[in-house]
């Protein structure tokens, strides 16, 4: 599928809107070309290419809304899809929470598209995976990994005069290297907009070194430990805070941000004062779309500043009801860090555990954001500033809110990818005291 | 790998890849002519062969979903989605290649087939061994339809909206502060063709009614939740027509082949309120009586996943993980997975189950087989390119793709614990427990990447003392090790208590795919399991 240009998208969307007889009509157009290579047991297992485009029409008569989609783009199909959306809208019950579509908006520039990524070929992918496989074999490790690149465009227009357009590219890579006797396992993950930044060889070498060092782990007693969480491990815990910033849930009393009597923790100190969490679509290391699917502009927003909750996310309906700005949820989140490397954080640790990766994170109690999950692919005991030996994996029961109150130190920010949500973040490694490990696992 | 959690705001469902596109409801009743599908499939088969493929299969899929989403007195969303397209998988130079397209013109299909072959050839230089496919005879032109009574897509939207708003009203009148309720309906119209000579047309239906209730204690700001005790089923709308014979009356009403959503919502509102003042559990060892509405998830995580052969072999090492049930344990024929009472079967044919199909997504007719027999590991779940590794001369039919745009791979069959052979009711079992907890409904869940260490919560927890239920508990989760846990299984209720639970969203693979799977059991007792208290304080 060709990626439609801004002008082509504009012309197509104008044509669709010209068929509308509804009070209001909004049209979203999306297309992606994605390709992936998957490997395991030191060989490619499956790989593929998928091309998809879709056009979504939302029509409203008063507060009655209908949505219809099509993936054919001739005039007759476009007329048909508009008609269907209007039929559905007439059949639908009134939605009292429907908010009239947005008028024209101003968006910042976009840096989400990189030409080199869009030009990736099967041969380039095979080469990148080949380098990873060769590195693993040279270390006598068994590699399983995944490479994926996606090129996409998105455009929207409505009868209120709004038009938005963006193109984006992404490349995600992850690698698990296991020792041949299956006693050690290491992991690394990388995410970029620009494929030329991806060094599969280097990432694989990190996973191999971790895997080799983690072999024949010792069991130590579960309990409360000082931990150093690498960014990939911290991300999967912290994103539960990021996903839980919804103002309505908090106002309704069913969130960790709720307070008795219908109040929320907005404006209150929630975590250690060294914690600053924000989003910025213009950040050069984590560019994200300057607009959301409902046409709102994505701006730089501070979520937690010096430990205090500064902003919550609002649907347009809830914002209108509360008379506040409708701040959309972020596409990528950034947490400020310090200057130290992970090695330097280890050096300053008397006794603790280094955690590479956390796995199977699930909420246990939504009111405290208590989460459970396990360490995986490289867990090490630290004593007097040095890694002493690999340890068996632990199950933890911990809340990221409690954890950020037990903050000891932050390291240097890195871009990382959540294995749970596939979202990219800029997050520092962090040293946390009294992290609760509740049992041991035999898993490698 | 693991089950995806379902967010309480289901409006986001529209954006989930694989959920398809929104369409008007009447389009769901259209089907694609089977003769046209055969023509299109032949285009792909021929194009792939001419490019050098030694094996090709083609899947033409029309995936329909309908979601009705409500909260309290409002309908939040009615979404009809359709996803139609073609996926072609080939073997060339001994390796797999796959391509998919939603452009259904013959030229576009031929191009997709050629792309799949070129990908296979490009990647074949990174192979260590050539793909070995278990032999599979072609079935010619055949079809299979799920035995449903009432196509949910034919039921008017108004009837569904009225049901959910009635459920919400009952919950709010019963004291709930909030309720989100949902109806999810799925129809997979799948056509499979292969160079083995099969042309298989299938029609599959699934339904899942569910709700989440929240009760808030205004004084303390504390809140408790109670989710529906329904099961997603491989059924039509008949699942929502309750019958007295499908209800098991006890401390709460439990449901077999039909579900009474209204009654469950009333029970839930009362129980969410009761939870606020329930006793916080004292951590320690307890005997657990686990209801099938809870146990399905433990079976899924601790038996279903570790017996998947692709995990055992390392194909999922980078994401879902591997398995503690290594080949040597199976080869020994004496690996003591559980107590002698533990008999677990894989079954792709069970009527009403989520995994029931006539043929899998690589054209293998489905069946059933023992996985754990009298406590011993006896078999795995395999597909065509793995069968030779476990000395099978045919696939077990476990191949599935969640969309035409996804490549098919090994997915879990329905994996179920067989009921006890002696007559035994839930009450009989509770009577025998000195210090225990009776757990109903699934809650929080987590297990390690080799499936040793797990932790599960639930919806309802009742304390058992000296053979009697003495009250409700909260903040309960149990932690165990799979082998230790299944060896502590001491009692299983009889067949009359056997029920299915399951999930629409079993996630696995990269890019991740969802699969729907059921797990049956009767109420089961496990002795001396470690229970933790999950209450914490923030701020």
Confidence band (pLDDT; 50, 70, 90) for B16? Answer: very low
What tokens does B198 get? 């099969």
Using an 8 Å Cβ cutoff, are B400 and B360 in contact? yes
Work out the number of other CB atoms within 10 angstroms of the CB of residue B130.
12
Mean pLDDT of B521-539: 95
Mean pLDDT of B328-336: 97
CB atoms within 10 A of CB B374: 13
- Both tokens assigned to A311: 């902003």
Tell me: pLDDT of B280 over 60: yes
> Under 8 Å CB-to-CB from A145, ≥6 apart: which residues?
A38, A39, A40, A129, A132, A173, A174, A175, A176, A204, B318
Q: How far is B287 from chain A (nearest CA, A)?
A: 19
Inform me whether the pLDDT recorded for B21 exceeds 60.
no
What's the confidence (pLDDT) of residue A128? Answer: 97
Question: Coil, strand, or helix at residue B443?
Answer: coil
Answer yes or no: do B316 and A399 touch at CB < 8 A. no
With residue B103 as reference, give the H or E element that holds it.
none
Q: How distant, in Å, are the alpha carbons of A140, A142, A154, B510 from that of B315?
A: 18, 11, 34, 11
Contact B117, A67 (CB under 8 A): no
Helix (H), strand (E) at residue B39 = helix B34-51
Chain B contact set for A442 (CB, 8 A)? 324, 450, 452-453, 481
pLDDT at B82: 79
Contacts B127 to A, Cβ<8 Å: 43-44
Encoding tokens for residue A31? 């297309």
CA B180 to chain centroid, in Å, comes to: 21
Assess contact for B430 and B467: CB atoms under 8 A. yes
Q: How far apart are CA B460 and CA B383, in angstroms?
A: 38
Question: Do A397 and B82 make contact, defined as CB atoms within 8 angstroms?
Answer: no
Inter-residue contact A378 to A176 (CB < 8 Å):
no
Taken as a whole, chain A contains a residue count of 444
What are B511's two structure tokens? 């890019």
Supply the DSSP string of B326-391, one letter for each residue: -HHHHHTT--B-S-TT--EEEES--TT-TT--SB-TTS-B--EEEEEETTEE---B--TTTGGGGT
For chain B, what are the domain ranges? Answer: 2-277, 280-533
**Annotation: CATH topology of A6-211:** PmbA/TldD fold (3.30.2290)
Give the DSSP H/E element, type plus range, for residue B208.
strand B198-217
Query: Would the CB atoms of A261 and B221 count as touching at under 8 Å?
Result: yes
> Residue B517 pLDDT more than 50?
yes
Q: Given its phi and psi angles, is residue A2 left (phi above 0), alpha (psi -120 to 50 degrees) or beta? A: beta
Residue B11 has pLDDT above 50, yes or no: no
Residues 6 or more apart whose CB falls under 8 angstroms from that of A243 comprise A329, A421
Q: What is each CA distance from A393 to A186, A242, B298, in whole angstroms?
A: 12, 26, 21
Residues within 8 A of A (CB atoms), B 490-529 only = 510-511
Q: Say whether residue B386 is in contact with chain A using an 8 A CB cutoff.
A: no
> What DSSP line would sit under B376-403, residue for residue?
EE---B--TTTGGGGT-SS--S-EE-SS
Give the end-to-end CA distance of chain B in Å, rounded to a whole number.
34
Q: Give percent of chain B with pLDDT exceeding 90.
A: 87
Q: What confidence category does residue B17 fall into, taking pLDDT thresholds of 50, 70 and 90?
A: very low
Predicted confidence at residue B13, as pLDDT, reads: 36
Name the CATH superfamily housing domain B2-277: PmbA/TldD superfamily (3.30.2290.10)
C-alpha B89/C-alpha B97 separation (Å) is: 6
pLDDT digits (tens, 9 = 90+) for B499-511: 999 999 999 999 9
* Beta strand spans in B404-459 (E): 409-410, 414-417, 435-440, 445-447, 453-456
Question: What secondary structure, in 3-state letters, does chain A show?
Answer: CCCCCHHHHHHHHHHHHHCCCCCEEEEEEEEEEEEEEEEECCEEEEEEEEEEEEEEEEEEECCEEEEEEECCCCHHHHHHHHHHHHHHHHHCCCCCCCCCCCCCCCCCCCCCCCHHHHCCCHHHHHHHHHHHHHHHHHCCEEEEEEEEEEEEEEEEEECCCCEEEEEEEEEEEEEEEEECCCCCEEEEEEEECCHHHCCHHHHHHHHHHHHHHHCCCECCCCEEEEEEECHHHHHHHHHHHHCCCEHHHHHCCCCCCECHHHCECCCCECCCCCCCEEECCCCCCCCCCCECCCCCECCCEEEEECCEECCCECCHHHHHHHCCCCCCCCCCEEECCCCECHHHHHHCCCEEEEEEEEEEEEEEECCCCEEEEEEEEEEEEEECCEEEEEECCEEEEECHHHHHHCEEEEECCEEEECCCCCCEEEECCEEEEEEEEEEECCCC
How is residue B233 annotated by DSSP?
Answer: B
Nearest CA to A419 out of A375, A334, A358 is that of A358
Interface test with B, best of A27, A39, A51 (most B CBs within 10 A): A51
- Span B358-393, pLDDT tens digits: 999 999 999 999 999 999 999 999 999 999 999 999
- The token duo for A190 is 């990388």
Judged by CB atoms closer than 8 Å, whether chains meet at A144 and B127 is answered as no
According to the model, what pLDDT value does residue B538 have?
86
Please say if the pLDDT value at position B53 is more than 80. Answer: yes
Tell me the C-alpha distance between B461 and B210, whole Å.
20
pLDDT in tens, B395-410: 999 999 999 999 999 9
ipTM: 0.93
pLDDT band at B246 (very low <50, low <70, confident <90, very high): very high
Chain B residue with CA closest to A360: the answer is B446
| Of residues B521, B284, B307, the one with CA closest to residue B420 | B521
Tell me B196's DSSP state.
T
State residue B370 phi and psi, 5-degree precision. Answer: -75, 140
Residue in B closest to A126 by C-alpha: B123
pTM (global) more than 0.90: yes
Q: What is the pLDDT along chain A (444 residues), one digit of tens a residue?
A: 468 999 999 999 999 999 999 999 999 999 999 999 999 999 998 888 888 888 899 999 999 988 888 877 889 889 988 998 898 788 888 889 999 999 999 999 999 999 999 999 988 999 999 999 999 999 999 999 999 999 999 999 999 999 999 999 999 999 999 999 999 999 999 999 999 999 999 999 999 999 999 998 999 999 999 999 999 999 999 999 999 999 999 999 999 999 988 899 999 999 999 999 999 999 999 999 999 999 999 999 999 999 999 999 999 999 999 999 999 999 999 999 999 999 999 999 999 999 999 999 999 999 999 999 999 999 999 999 999 999 999 999 999 999 999 999 999 999 999 988 989 999 999 999 999 999 999 999
Residue in B27, B101, B453 nearest the CB of A374: B453
What does the domain layout of chain A look like in residue ranges? 6-211, 217-444
The secondary structure of B505-539 as a DSSP string is EEEETTTTEEEEEEEEE--EEEEEEEEEE------
* Nearest residue to B233 via CA among B348, B355, B142: B355
Find how far residue A444's CA is from the centre of its chain: 26
Say yes or no: B27 contacts chain A, CB-CB below 8 A.
Answer: yes
Q: CA-nearest residue of chain A to B96?
A: A46
Report the alpha-carbon distance of residue B478 to residue B283 in Å, rounded: 9
d(CA A150, CA A148): 7
C-alpha to C-alpha distance for B4 and B174, rounded to whole angstroms = 30
Greater model confidence, B296 or A47: B296
User: Which pLDDT value is given to residue A299?
Assistant: 96
Q: What is the pLDDT of residue A216?
A: 87
Locate A321 and state its tokens: 């009801």
Write out pLDDT tens, residues B481-498: 999 999 999 999 999 999
Token pair of A216 as six digits: 């024949």
Q: Round to whole Å and give the CA distance between B46 and A318.
A: 55
The pLDDT value given to residue B456: 98
Chain A CB contacts of B22 under 8 Å are: 56, 67-69
B503-521 average pLDDT score: 95
Report residue B46: phi and psi, to 5°. -70, -40
């Amino acid at each position: 599928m060709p990626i439609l240009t801004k002008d082509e998208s504009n012309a197509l969307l104008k044509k669709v809107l010209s068929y509308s007889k509804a009070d209001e009509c909004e049209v979203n157009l999306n297309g992606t070309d994605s390709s992936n290579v998957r490997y395991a047991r030191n060989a490619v297992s499956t790989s593929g290419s998928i091309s998809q485009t879709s056009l979504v029409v939302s029509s409203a008569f008063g507060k009655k809304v209908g949505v219809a989609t099509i993936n054919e783009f001739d005039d007759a199909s476009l007329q048909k899809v508009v008609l269907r959306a209007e039929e559905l809208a007439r059949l639908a019950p009134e939605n009292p929470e429907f908010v009239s579509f947005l008028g024209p908006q101003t968006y910042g520039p976009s840096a989400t598209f990189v030409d080199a990524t869009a030009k990736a070929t099967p041969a380039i992918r095979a080469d990148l995976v080949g380098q990873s496989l060769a590195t693993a074999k040279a270390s006598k490790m068994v590699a399983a990994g995944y490479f994926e690149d996606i090129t996409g465009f998105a455009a929207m227009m409505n009868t209120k005069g709004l038009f938005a357009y963006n193109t984006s590219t992404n490349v995600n890579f992850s690698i698990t290297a296991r020792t041949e006797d299956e006693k050690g396992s290491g992991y690394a993950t990388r995410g970029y907009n620009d494929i030329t930044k991806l060094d599969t060889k280097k990432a694989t070498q990190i996973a191999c070194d971790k895997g080799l060092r983690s072999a024949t782990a010792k069991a130590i007693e579960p309990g409360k430990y000082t931990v150093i969480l690498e960014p990939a491990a911290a991300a999967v815990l912290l994103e539960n805070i990021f996903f839980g910033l919804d103002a309505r849930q908090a106002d309704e009393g069913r969130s960790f941000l709720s307070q008795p009597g219908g109040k929320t923790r907005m404006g209150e100190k929630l975590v250690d004062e060294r914690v600053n969490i924000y989003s910025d679509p213009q950040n050069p290391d984590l560019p994200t779309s300057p607009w959301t699917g409902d046409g709102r502009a994505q701006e730089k927003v501070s979520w937690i500043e010096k430990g205090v909750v500064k902003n919550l996310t609002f649907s347009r309906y809830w914002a209108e009801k509360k008379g506040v700005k409708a701040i959309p949820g972020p596409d990528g989140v950034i947490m400020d860090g310090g200057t130290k490397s992970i090695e330097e954080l280890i050096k300053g640790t008397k006794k603790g555990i280094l955690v590479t990766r956390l796995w199977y994170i699930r909420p246990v109690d939504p009111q405290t954001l208590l989460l459970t999950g396990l360490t995986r692919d490289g867990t090490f005991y630290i004593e007097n500033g040095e890694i002493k030996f690999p340890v068996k994996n632990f199950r933890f029961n911990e809340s990221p809110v409690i954890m950020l109150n037990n903050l000891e130190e932050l390291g240097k920010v890195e871009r990382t990818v959540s294995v749970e949500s596939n979202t990219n973040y800029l997050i520092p490694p962090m040293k946390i005291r009294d992290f609760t490990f509740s049992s041991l696992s035999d898993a490698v | 790998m693991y089950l995806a959690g379902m967010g309480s705001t289901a409006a986001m469902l529209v954006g989930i890849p694989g959920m398809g596109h929104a369409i008007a409801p009447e389009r769901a009743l259209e089907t694609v002519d089977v003769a046209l599908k055969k023509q299109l499939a032949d285009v792909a088969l021929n194009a792939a062969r001419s490019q050098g493929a030694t094996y090709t299969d083609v899947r033409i899929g029309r995936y329909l979903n309908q979601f009705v989403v409500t909260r309290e007195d409002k309908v939040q969303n009615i979404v009809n989605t359709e996803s139609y397209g073609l996926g072609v998988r080939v073997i060339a130079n001994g390796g797999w290649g796959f391509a998919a397209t939603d452009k259904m013109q013959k030229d576009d299909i031929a191009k997709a087939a050629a792309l799949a072959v070129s990908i296979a050839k490009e990647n074949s230089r990174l192979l260590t061994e050539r793909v070995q496919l278990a032999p599979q005879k072609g079935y010619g032109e055949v079809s299979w339809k799920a035995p449903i009574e009432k196509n949910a897509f034919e039921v008017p939207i108004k009837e569904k909206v009225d049901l959910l708003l009635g459920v919400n009203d009952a919950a709010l009148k019963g004291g709930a502060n909030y309720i989100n309720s949902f109806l999810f309906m799925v129809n997979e119209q799948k056509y499979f063709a292969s160079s083995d000579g099969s042309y298989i047309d299938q029609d599959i239906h699934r339904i899942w009614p569910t709700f989440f209730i929240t009760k808030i204690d205004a004084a303390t700001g504390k809140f408790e939740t109670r989710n529906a005790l329904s099961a997603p089923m491989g059924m039509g709308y008949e699942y929502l027509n309750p019958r007295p014979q499908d209800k098991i009356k006890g401390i709460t009403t439990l449901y077999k082949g039909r579900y009474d959503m209204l009654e469950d919502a009333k029970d839930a509102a009362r129980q969410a309120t009761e939870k606020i003042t329930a006793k916080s559990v004292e951590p320690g060892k307890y005997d657990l009586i686990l209801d099938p509405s809870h146990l399905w998830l433990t079976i899924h995580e601790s038996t279903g996943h570790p017996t998947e052969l692709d995990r055992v072999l390392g194909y999922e090492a980078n994401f879902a993980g591997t398995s503690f049930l290594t080949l040597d344990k199976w080869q020994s024929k004496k690996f003591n997975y559980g107590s002698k009472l533990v008999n677990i079967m894989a079954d792709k044919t069970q009527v009403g189950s989520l995994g029931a199909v006539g043929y899998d997504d690589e054209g293998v007719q489905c069946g059933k087989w023992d996985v754990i027999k009298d406590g011993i590991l006896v078999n795995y779940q395999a597909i065509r390119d793995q069968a030779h590794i476990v000395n099978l001369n045919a696939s077990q039919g476990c191949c599935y793709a969640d969309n035409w745009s996804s490549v098919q791979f090994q997915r879990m069959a329905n994996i179920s614990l067989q009921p006890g052979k002696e007559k035994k009711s839930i009450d009989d079992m509770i009577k025998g427990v000195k210090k225990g907890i009776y757990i109903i409904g699934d809650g929080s869940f987590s297990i390690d990447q080799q499936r040793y260490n797990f932790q599960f919560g639930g919806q309802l927890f009742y304390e058992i003392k000296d053979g009697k239920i003495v009250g409700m508990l909260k903040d309960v989760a149990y932690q165990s090790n799979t082998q230790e846990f299944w060896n502590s299984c001491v009692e299983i209720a009889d067949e009359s208590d056997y029920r299915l639970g399951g999930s629409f969203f079993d996630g696995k693979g990269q890019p991740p795919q969802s699969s729907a799977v059921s797990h049956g059991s009767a109420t089961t007792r496990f002795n001396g399991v470690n229970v933790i208290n999950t209450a914490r304080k923030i701020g």
